Structure 1
Amino acid sequence: MLGIVIPAHNEEKFLPACLRAIGCAARHPGLNGEQVAVVVVLDSCTDRSALVATQYSTPTITIGARNVGMARAAGASVMLENGARWLAFTDADSRVAPDWLVAQQALRAEAVCGVIAVDDWCEHDAATRETFYRSYIDADGHRHVHGANLGVSARAYRRAGGFQPIACSEDVALVDMLIATGTTIAWSAAPRVITSARRASKARGGFGDTLAALGD
């Protein structure tokens, strides 16, 4: 089984598109019928995120940590308990490509770090956009780490100790531990994810704050 984990804190606006994209990826014929399980980790939600997940028949778990590292770890634990051999992580404000899971599996690595593209730059000026694209490597061999586009085998995840209970950069911390424990990582541009460039970042120090800092 392949397990997909989506942390969410008040994401009713973006979650429908996220779950529609996940549904397409889970039904891709290239998976040859392998089961795909999805869980949305509702972390301190006070909006209708739970209702959205129900409308899309997506299982949820609820925590009150307001901590993305703990949310990802909680979702991973559920998937591992249910027998997932592979864990795929994205974000509630992101849309995975239809072949997202297929592309991760085709790389035959113990972990996969993919790339992202921004869907709408309207909250940022042209200089911020240009600065981002000058520094961003959208090609194989990149060294970007995105929680919105990350996959890891169950064995490598356990060996690395899983996600740390930190409020940001939990994805980078996990990848650092994967490297330290000898995990084979594919730094690939094949698995694609489109993500939000909103300035009101849900995780302080996350991608939204990174973009905002480029414009300062």
Structure 2
Amino acid sequence: MKIGIVIPAHNEALTTSDCLASVQTAMKQLPSTITAYPLVVLDSCTDDTESLVKAAGVDSLSCNYRHVGQVRDLGIRHAIDKGATWLACTDADSVVPPDWLVEQIKHITEQTPDMICGVVSVDSWAHLTPQTKQAYIAHYQDKMGHRHIHGANLSFSAKAYLAVGGFTKLPCHEDVDLVKKFEEQNYDIIWSNRVRVTTSSRLDARVTEGFAGFLANLEKGNLE
């Protein structure tokens, strides 16, 4: 098996190095029979993200889409062309634990899913109100069988991805749209809290309706 790890990035110089270091650590935990290919898709970057990716020894593609769905699709299809049979998505403002890929392999071995929807942990609550943290925890289901969808922690088989047509060209919610396609075509999805990442709690969203936007709306509601 070959895993393609696809990471979109738009001006993520502050977080890219930590993200890639965590991915490389996770890759080292894989058995010798499994290889992994990390790829950063640089979307309209004007900061030092590209040089940091090069310094980490990771391959990259460049584009100017400003549509995260199109950016992810570009990287995934490139990884599939490189021989990837399983795709693992995360984001450049997230870090993965050492067992991130190993836990995916366990699910694949145990249950042969077509897709795994993982969970996210928030890296810091220090700059947010206690009420925002409480509201988030009350909303979030950190358990097996959860129904959360995160582009920062989504993985799937190459065969199924191509069959459903891949990510749609959307500026946000491309992950929700892809999961819906898998569900509509009766592919097997595991909703796992064993596969997890830690993601940024920043409020300056790269995508208006993404995770940062969700936190920002919670914070705004608690400040009013």
Alignment-derived partner of residue 11 in structure 1 = 12
Q: Secondary structure at the match of 1:148?
A: helix
Alpha carbons 1:160, 1:177 under 8 Å: kept? yes
Structure 1 stretches of 4+ moved >4 Å: none
The yes-or-no answer on 1:22 pairing with 2:26 is no
Inter-partner Cα distance in structure 2 for 1:124 and 1:32: 43
Cα deviations across residues 134-154 of structure 1 (Å, max 9, x unaligned)? 110000000000001110000
Q: How does 1:114-125 map to 2 (within 5 A)?
A: 114-125=118-129
RMSD: 0.9
Alignment-derived partner of residue 152 in structure 1 = 156
Cα deviations across residues 50-107 of structure 1 (Å, max 9, x unaligned)? 0000000000000001111111001001011111000000000000111111111211
Alignment-derived partner of residue 48 in structure 1 = 48
Q: How does 1:117-136 map to 2 (within 5 A)?
A: 117-136=121-140
Alpha carbons 1:123, 1:199 under 8 Å: kept? no
Alignment-derived partner of residue 180 in structure 1 = 184
Inter-partner Cα distance in structure 2 for 1:44 and 1:84: 25
TM-score w.r.t. the length of structure 1 is 0.97
Per-residue deviation, 1:159: 1.4
Cα deviations across residues 23-76 of structure 1 (Å, max 9, x unaligned)? 0111114x3341110110000000000000000000000000111111100100
Alpha carbons 1:68, 1:168 under 8 Å: kept? yes
Alignment-derived partner of residue 102 in structure 2 = 102
TM-score w.r.t. the length of structure 2 is 0.94
Alpha carbons 1:159, 1:181 under 8 Å: kept? no
Inter-partner Cα distance in structure 2 for 1:32 and 1:132: 39
Q: Tell me the number of residue pairs that the alignment of Structure 1 and Structure 2 aligns.
A: 215
Per-residue deviation, 1:214: 1.4
Q: Secondary structure at the match of 2:155?
A: strand
Paired-residue identity, %:
40
Q: Secondary structure at the match of 1:101?
A: helix
Q: Secondary structure at the match of 1:105?
A: helix
Inter-partner Cα distance in structure 1 for 2:144 and 2:218: 24
Counterpart amino acid of residue 98 in structure 2: P
Alpha carbons 1:40, 1:59 under 8 Å: kept? yes
Per-residue deviation, 1:213: 1.1
Per-residue deviation, 1:167: 0.5
Inter-partner Cα distance in structure 2 for 1:122 and 1:177: 37
Inter-partner Cα distance in structure 2 for 1:33 and 1:52: 29
Q: How does 1:59-208 map to 2 (within 5 A)?
A: 59-108=59-108, 109-208=113-212
Counterpart amino acid of residue 6 in structure 1: I
The yes-or-no answer on 1:213 pairing with 2:214 is no
